[in-house]
Amino acid sequence: MDTLEDVAREVCACTDCPLHQSRTNAVPGEGPADAEVLFIGEGPGYQEDRQGRPFVGPAGGFLEDLLQSIGMTRDQVYIANMVKCRPPDNRDPAPGEIAACSKYLERQIELIAPRLIVTLGRFSTGRFLPGQTISRVRGRLRSVDGRQIFPIMHPAAGLRRQEMRVAIEEDFAKLAGLLDVLRLQADPASEPAGIPEPHGLEPHHISDTAAGYEPASQTATPAPSFWDVPPAAPPPAPAEPPSIEPPAPDEPLPGQLPLL
């Protein structure tokens, strides 16, 4: 599996789990090989199974609207799923089915090397953050084995409940700024010089705000930095030249004889 096309061919010929028996088409995934963002959903639905493409049903329409809201299109991102064949009746994928497809997803991640992985829903989030609920970790950046993971609820959930739709839109709105931060971290030389924070406050990286990280504990002792260095004393003023008192009116000037 040297290229994404090789992965797709193997997925379409795969018989490693029972899902291949009921599929119309396998759905390997699609997008540019150098995509900055990789979206990982759960599995194909009815329309995806018919067309062999990910996120082309109602949830896919919502995903495209979300991308448009941050100035992106689906042509700029890679979209994949945990399982590459539709589970019958859109049931949840079984652990064995997820395990069978794991090698394909992992190879896609390695080949694309995305700057950011956005997990859509509990199954893809659980792959990177096992034991965590999507409601607890959504909208916050996590680093897992050197990969930047940003969990969001599945777009299908936003089609069913308005409050979830609002939460998804709020989390999605963070993506553009988050990508800017990750680009700066990858190329520190391009980061503009910041304005020092007031003395006595612990400095934090700009990603703490954009990515939703919790700030460091206020009781922690920060490492010495230029915030802790007192300003240098101003240089001393130059000495005044000595003043010369003029001679008294009755005294002769130097070299002059006194008048009689």
Q: What is the pLDDT of residue 191?
A: 55
Q: How many separate domains does the chain show? A: 1
Helix (H, G, I), strand (E, B) or coil at 46: helix
Does 175 map to a domain?
yes
Rg (CA), the chain: 32
- Mean pLDDT in order along the chain per 10 residues (260 residues): 94 97 97 98 97 97 97 97 96 96 98 98 97 95 96 96 96 96 84 39 35 37 36 53 49 47
Query: Residue 102: which of 128, 79, 70, 77 has the closest Cα?
Result: 128
pLDDT at 214: 38
DSSP 199: T
Establish if 92 belongs to a structural domain: yes
Angle CA 58–59–62, to nearest 5 = 90
> How far is residue 85 from each of residues 78, 79, 109, 117, measured CA to CA in Å?
17, 14, 18, 21
Residue 24 forms part of a structural domain: yes
CATH number at residue 73: 3.40.470.10
Q: Strand 147-152 vs strand 142-144: parallel, antiparallel, or unpaired?
A: antiparallel
- Whether 203 is covered by a domain: the verdict is no
> Quick check: is 248 in a domain?
no
Q: Is residue 204 part of a domain?
A: no
Range of the domain at 105: 4-189
Residue with tokens 């028996």: 21
The pLDDT value given to residue 187: 81
Euclidean distance between CA atoms 215 and 137, whole angstroms:
16
Residue 139 resides in a domain: yes
**Residue 67 lies inside a defined structural domain of this protein:** yes
CA angle 21, 24, 28 (to 5 degrees): 95
